[in-house]
Structure 1
Amino acid sequence: MSPRLFASIHDVTPHFESEVDALFDRLSGLLGGPRLAMLVVPDFEDKAPLAGNAAFAGKLRGWADAGVEMFLHGWCHRDDARVKGFMQKHMTAGAGEFAQLSRTEALRRLERGRAVVEDALGRPLTGFVAPAWLYSPGSLDALRDGGFPLAEDHLKVWEPTTGRVVAKGPVITWASRTRGRVASSLMVAAAARAAPWALQNARIAVHPPDTTVPALLDSIDATYAKFVRTHRPSRYADLHGG
């Protein structure tokens, strides 16, 4: 099987509408079309609800009609846990919403979020990705019980209902929060570009704040341009049942 490339835009919400528009145009140009996934947040930070926003729902529906895959990406994206673990404290900027949820609460957010996003799209979701790719044990149980076809974390893509891993390998992504994180993410992306053959299934994810740092945009352009020469832009859904 030829190497595959899975491109995604995280944090798709009315709160970041202009940034998402810019990333969609950028990635579509790099990939030769809208061969990418969007991770949709139903109510980002409890201040940008998708429900009732007909204009943004129409935009999502148009992208889905054009072939963009749609994933649920938490409910509000915010981590409200009082006591946070190492990854939550140091790696997520408060975005690990599902990192410590109970099964009951996780399932409630999954079902509520799926209803909102699927109502906007008029079609089923491709799967679920937790904010910051962090899952509590209860969240994993809820994801299985919720019947989502696919899920993803930092190191793999899997089928929650069966537990079958359908793709392995780290996600290439960027961080814009501090100069140190910008520098480290530029280094990781450069290393990935030096050895694209090392990733049979390359997952490359971008976030709206990436658009605020020119060096990150240059790195994103270079990374996608490199991988598109060696990897075929692909759909996550093709991993399910494959």
Structure 2
Amino acid sequence: MADPTAFYSVISGIGGALIGGVAGVYGPVRIDKRRREHELHIENLRREFEIQAQARAADLEARRLRDEANAREQAIEAERRRLRAEEDARKKAASQEESEKVLAAIADATVALQDWHRLIARTLQDLAAEREVNVAEFDESAEPVMHSVAEAISLVSNRSFRSVRQNGHTGDPSGDADGRQPVTLAMQQVTLELRRQLLAPQSGLDVGDSITARTDTIRDDLMRVFRAERELQVGPPIVVNATMVAAAETYRP
């Protein structure tokens, strides 16, 4: 009878050989499979990392473009505000300059208008007293004051007051334009009519009273216009009453 130990030894040897053969065949296959799986995993991680990196780069680029666009818009808006501020400053300066020009012209014209009125009145008095009047001196006195009044009238804002009715009264702003004439023409007509009287006096005619009435009307209406224009430029005058004076005295240190 065979030795069992020898039999088991043979069986073990055969089994070991089989196992070794199988391991020799399938071991490298499994190792290679794991290696390929590992390499594939690494490649997937690399691709995922690249995708994330590209996404971050795209996000940073988009953010940079947005920041540049916002900065550009802010710069444009700031430039627009600067230009608007400069334009407003220019308009304000021009308006202030124009207002000062109008006020200066009105001040000159107010004095000139009074001078013209006094010239007409004094000349009429000389005619009534049969005193000799130098026509050249009359012309020399009348021309500059009429020019000053005409310049101020050309600057006033209310154009409705630049004309008067032919009877010497200023027309209502809402009235009919028929029968109206420039106020400077009315002044010139009065002045020329008086000048004709100086050159060829006409006795027996009530010319002096007519000239005086027309002169008074032109002066009074123009003074009213000049006051209204001054209020338009600088506001109404401050009225100081007794209550305001008393209050000022009370709080005086």
TM-score under structure 1 length normalisation: 0.23
Task: Specify the structure having the higher radius of gyration (Cα).
Answer: 2
TM-score (normalizing by structure 2): 0.22
Structure having the larger proportion of residues in helix: 2
**Structure with more of its chain in strand, by fraction:** 1
